[in-house]
Structure 1
Amino acid sequence: MHTSPDLAQIHERLYRLTDAGAGDASDRRALDLVSGQLGRDGFRVLVAGEAKRGKSTLLNALLGRDLLPTGVVPVTALATTVRGGLPETVTVRYADGRVERHEPAALSRFVTQAANPGNRRDVDEVVLTLDAPLLSRGVELVDTPGTGSVHAQNTEEAVAGLRAMDACVFVLTADPPVSAAERELLRRVGQASVRTFVVLNKADQLDADELREAAGFTRRVVAEALGETVPVFECVAREGAHRDVDRLATALTGYLAEHRDTDLLRSLTARTRRLAVGLLDEVLMARAVADLDASRREQRVAALRAQLDALARRRQEAADLIRAEGRRALADVDEAARDAGPALTGAVRDAWSAVWDEESGGRPRREREAEGRRRLADLTRDAVDAWRLAREEELTDRLSALDRRVRDRLARDLDTFRDSVADLIGVGLASPADGGPLVPDPRFRYRFQEDVGQTELLAGWARRHLPGAAGVRRSRAHLTAEAADLVPMQIGRVRADFQSRLAESTRQMVTAVTDRYDAIGRRLGGALAKSAGPRRESAEHAGLADRERSLRQVVSELEPAPS
């Protein structure tokens, strides 16, 4: 009868995985993370989501302490693990093994984009130790950078955190609503997390009817992504204003009290098994290469290395294709913006002039000019928004088509690679390939703004105080001229936003396709390294059969129990 392992048994199987030879630095890091959790009996709850959803602010509200840095631009650059305990300290571990301890107030020096851009300090881990009720019983809350940030390091750090979590608090916002990118990220979180809590943050940005609509839409998307219905907590978590955060805290506390121990076992078992399957792939290939007879071995090894080289070329070709399409899309956006400026300006100016001429002249000039400015802003917003929506649809379709095209190539290349490996050494790879989108269609953000500086305020005062018809004529002339500046300014802002999102989408797509090509190739590279050299001279080969048996046993023992 199959029974689930306990923590001691998982620890023993981790030891056997380490003894069987962890593939590369990524594997060893993953093993160290699981082993460290076992040693601490720690349950990791990741706070995840896209950039600027209020993750750090929400975590501060849950802890009752404003220690995690926040701001109006993407702030968090490195993950911060928050653990319970005393004394309250920030422990910083560097890649070279150095360890420093600081006061909690020093946290921002190590984890923010401003103080540590691109992780130039070479920080490996940051742990904030706090005395907080929510952190009892070994719970660890992990604040992550947002995905989709304009800073590449932030997104990569956030995605890496998904591999080392047990449960997740996934943060969305009421405005803007959940995007395709967030739905895909939520799907990945659901696959790796034993329990997912969903927060609809910034609920105060909508009125009651809008919030009901946004919450209903969010629940439908969440259920689709996770494959189950889960509660969605509508919260306000910002400095000086918290709402319904206590309901989320109560739900977390209740879940941890009832399910924490069993779910920790489930999570660590699944993560350890994924590691074992990957290592088994590598050992199977290494053994198959090592077992080739002398007459065929050199030829087959050369053929396998040629397959790795071909895979690397295909990876580069895919990345070059994405970058080229991204440059073409950027150029097309620039051209569309240049063409739109004069046409939209003329249309808005004509429409506004007609509105002004229809207005009654009986009102005070101050009111008439204020109304004229409002109508001008409305006409500009409508015109620019219509142009934006049309361009957004084009760009979304374009990027979606590129995503499908590159994924089709990737699938063909990886199938060819797997078939070649199987033909050359008779090994079918067990690790599954990720077939999801490389980057879902982007959400383009745009907010209409009117810039009225001190000079404009003084000019407005002067026009309002000119006598009679002269003041009216000056007001009309001024607002007509303002239309010529306002429309191009708003188009320029939309174009800049499109450019930013296109550049980020292109970068994410290149990173994702590179990772997927490398994920399968690195196992064969590790296998060839393990089996390098003449068979009779390599002590490594003598233990490959033992390692295979050990890894197969671990994979079997960690097979999920039937429900």
Structure 2
Amino acid sequence: MKTSYSLIKEGLGRIVTRLSQINPENGHHRLREISQKLKEEQFNLVVMGQFKRGKSTFVNALLGAEILPTAIVPLTAIVTVLRYGPEVKALVHYLDGRSQEVAISEIPQFVTERGNPKNRLQVKEVEVFYPSDYLKDGVRIIDTPGVGSVYRHNTDVAYAYLPYVDAGIFIVTADPPLSESEHQFLKDVRDHVDKLFFVLNKIDLVDEVDLAEALAFTEEILRLDLGREVRIYPLSAKLALEGKIKADPAKLGKSRFVSFERDLRAFLHQEKGKAFLKAVISSLLRHVADETMAYKLEQEAAKLSLDQLQKKIAQFEEKAQLVEKDRSQMEFILEGEIKKLTEMLDEDLRLLKETQLPELLRRLEMAFSEKVSRGLSSRELEREMEEFVFGEIQRVFSLFRNRESEKMAEALESIYLDLAGRTNQIIETIVRLASDLFKIELKPFTTVEKLTSKSDFYFLLREDPVGLELIQLSVRSALPMFIARGIILRRMRATIADRFERHCGRVRYDLLKRIDSTTRDFRRRLNEKIDLTLSAIREALQRAMALKSQSEQKVSETLSNLSARLAAVEEIRRELFGYQKEVETL
């Protein structure tokens, strides 16, 4: 006898077919995805969180192997989907539909910003097959780019994956605490994800007192964000991975990973099916809501006389022009904030030069004295001092680059969150205009991805040697040692000052260039969302206008068809709510 799970699953499959038949002229990409999900019983366990929280290390710890690339800088730029396979292999799926098998060791070339900057390879996602018990029975573990990490490829994938999340693992860390982007992300997650595991990662980096404080703080924030009590699993993915790879039970125990794994396995064994059905129902309800909105607007507009409709459209366009002023104001705010960001960068570079250059010159003198005391030849002395200068410059600017890029990213994040909120208000205003004009209840045609733009900034530190420097080396080697030493020291002082100044300029140029690039991209996406909402409403109104040139019979048939579609999707909505109740009893 079939289980209730099977009956509900079959019923949802029939609903997908009916929805496709109600409006066959639409492509229904979402419905095709839901159909495939039902057929394959795909269960997406998505690992989410802000960048640099250790998500990839966490996934590796679950698998007990170093499969995904990890680093101390924001790294993941492309979604990686892990699914069960008897043999370890990886497939790269491109945006143009091609697929290519690659070695596991080659994955970083496709999924990281460093290996695949700005997604120049046009990768859609990378699929990894691995023989893990976690990946059996249709479970797919999905590693997403962190909230706050925007790379210039086809979409903001962290938010784009929300509709496909059946259960989520949200990673935070003991230090630093939750950011504004994580608060916003959690608010958005609530509408898509029924089951969330919360992990407080990197507990190996704090002592017990700080851990207790971080745990209490995070629990309180999550409780406020979600409106309910939550359980947080404090652990160290790094220690867990090391413990599994090295078969070190002491290290694995210290990681506190075992408790989380026990509960995750129990969930996958006992509750996965229920969560799967809930996710499918939620996706179908969102589709039904969108279809209902479009039908209602077109239907109400078509009922009006030509004169009435023209007046309504004119009123809508008149008020829509006022909305454009809000869009212009948003552009003005953005320009002002970016100017402040530039000033902040200039001040940080000034302070860097003021504090670090004297220290570098002091270290130069010490290193020079030490090397002279070793009795090096002038050629050896020059070579080692060149290496010293390069190493010191690299050290200072590598630290500054990482610190400053994160600071800039945080600042951009705050700016973009504000603009995303303003854009959402504009969209809501546009939809409210249509609702008020046609006396119907509508919701936005689209929502703004609130994912904000952060990027890891890179620049080339080392320069190729120039011929002049090589000639100077050979000339000085023929001079008396006491003269050559003085020349070398003076040259090194000048070199370190010159290179410091040039690298300040290089860092400034690179950061500002990337800020400009991500800002233009973010501005474009926000404008697209506003334009999409306007065009969707205008298209529905234009379809209604087109009816006015048709015969009364044609108008009657169209209105009847729209009414039938509305009735059909409303019946499906009721059925979906019924299935929701049945799922709760499983």
CA shift for structure 1 position 264? 1.4
Aligned partner of 2:281 in structure 1 is: 269
After superposition, the Cα gap between the structure-2 partners of 1:190 and 1:230, relative to the gap in structure 1 and judged at 3 Å, is farther
CA distance in 2, matches of 1:396, 1:130: 36
State the secondary structure of the residue aligned to 1:12. Answer: helix
CA contact (8 A) 1:319 1:513 kept: no
Q: What letter corresponds to residue 340 of structure 2 in structure 1?
A: A
Aligned partner of 2:308 in structure 1 is: 296
Q: What letter corresponds to residue 330 of structure 1 in structure 2?
A: L
| 1:97-138 residue CA offsets vs partner (Å, 9 max, x unmatched) | x45362553862554445554444544454333322111222
CA distance in 2, matches of 1:415, 1:314: 15
Confirm or deny that 1:543 pairs with 2:561.
yes
| 1:407-438 residue CA offsets vs partner (Å, 9 max, x unmatched) | 45753x44542343134333221459869978
State the secondary structure of the residue aligned to 2:44. Answer: strand
Confirm or deny that 1:153 pairs with 2:153.
yes
Aligned partner of 1:220 in structure 2 is: 220
Q: What letter corresponds to residue 524 of structure 1 in structure 2?
A: I
Confirm or deny that 1:251 pairs with 2:269.
no
Aligned partner of 1:527 in structure 2 is: 540
CA distance in 2, matches of 1:140, 1:267: 14
Aligned partner of 1:370 in structure 2 is: none
Aligned partner of 2:476 in structure 1 is: none
Aligned partner of 1:84 in structure 2 is: 84
CA shift for structure 1 position 42? 1.6
Aligned partner of 1:105 in structure 2 is: 104
| 1:247-288 residue CA offsets vs partner (Å, 9 max, x unmatched) | 433221111112111111222212211221122111111222
CA distance in 1, matches of 2:566, 2:171: 42
Residue-pair matches, total: 532
Which aligned pairs between 1:66-215 and structure 2 lie closer than 5 A?
Answer: 66-86=66-86, 89-91=89-91, 93-96=93-96, 98=97, 100=99, 102=101, 105=104, 108=107, 110-114=110-114, 116-124=116-124, 126-149=126-149, 151-153=151-153, 156-204=156-204, 206-209=205-208, 211-213=210-212, 215=214
Aligned partner of 1:422 in structure 2 is: 435
After superposition, the Cα gap between the structure-2 partners of 1:51 and 1:492, relative to the gap in structure 1 and judged at 3 Å, is farther
Output the aligned Cα RMSD.
Answer: 5.8
CA distance in 2, matches of 1:103, 1:114: 18
CA distance in 2, matches of 1:433, 1:208: 45
CA distance in 1, matches of 2:124, 2:356: 54
CA distance in 2, matches of 1:402, 1:161: 20
CA distance in 2, matches of 1:76, 1:394: 19
Aligned partner of 2:13 in structure 1 is: 11
Confirm or deny that 1:331 pairs with 2:342.
yes
* TM-score, with structure 1 as normaliser: 0.71
State the secondary structure of the residue aligned to 1:281. Answer: helix
CA shift for structure 1 position 177? 3.4
CA distance in 2, matches of 1:106, 1:207: 32
Which aligned pairs between 1:330-349 and structure 2 lie closer than 5 A?
Answer: 330-337=341-348, 340-341=350-351
State the secondary structure of the residue aligned to 1:6. Answer: helix
| 1:159-180 residue CA offsets vs partner (Å, 9 max, x unmatched) | 2111211111122233433322
CA contact (8 A) 1:34 1:268 kept: yes
Q: What letter corresponds to residue 259 of structure 1 in structure 2?
A: E
After superposition, the Cα gap between the structure-2 partners of 1:400 and 1:59, relative to the gap in structure 1 and judged at 3 Å, is closer
CA contact (8 A) 2:61 2:237 kept: no
Which aligned pairs between 1:386-465 and structure 2 lie closer than 5 A?
Answer: 407=421, 411=425, 413-414=426-427, 416-431=429-444
After superposition, the Cα gap between the structure-2 partners of 1:50 and 1:226, relative to the gap in structure 1 and judged at 3 Å, is same
CA distance in 2, matches of 1:296, 1:331: 52
CA contact (8 A) 2:49 2:171 kept: yes
Q: Quick one: which of 523, 542, 545 aligns to 1:510?
A: 523
Q: What letter corresponds to residue 327 of structure 1 in structure 2?
A: I
CA contact (8 A) 2:46 2:167 kept: yes
CA contact (8 A) 1:88 1:129 kept: yes
Q: What letter corresponds to residue 267 of structure 2 in structure 1?
A: Y
* TM-score, with structure 2 as normaliser: 0.68
Confirm or deny that 1:317 pairs with 2:328.
yes
| 1:525-563 residue CA offsets vs partner (Å, 9 max, x unmatched) | 453465445446587655211111112222233335499
CA contact (8 A) 1:76 1:113 kept: yes
| 1:49-77 residue CA offsets vs partner (Å, 9 max, x unmatched) | 22333322321221234333444544433
State the secondary structure of the residue aligned to 1:153. Answer: coil
CA contact (8 A) 1:223 1:230 kept: no
CA contact (8 A) 1:49 1:182 kept: yes
CA distance in 2, matches of 1:143, 1:346: 42
CA contact (8 A) 1:41 1:138 kept: yes
State the secondary structure of the residue aligned to 2:137. Answer: helix
Confirm or deny that 1:21 pairs with 2:37.
no
CA distance in 2, matches of 1:247, 1:143: 21
CA contact (8 A) 2:150 2:156 kept: no
Q: What letter corresponds to residue 552 of structure 1 in structure 2?
A: E
| 1:448-476 residue CA offsets vs partner (Å, 9 max, x unmatched) | xxxxxxxxxxxxxxxxxxxxxxxxxxxxx
State the secondary structure of the residue aligned to 1:16. Answer: helix
After superposition, the Cα gap between the structure-2 partners of 1:32 and 1:104, relative to the gap in structure 1 and judged at 3 Å, is farther
CA contact (8 A) 2:297 2:440 kept: yes
User: Which segment is superposed worse, 248-257 or 149-158?
Assistant: 149-158
Aligned partner of 1:555 in structure 2 is: 573
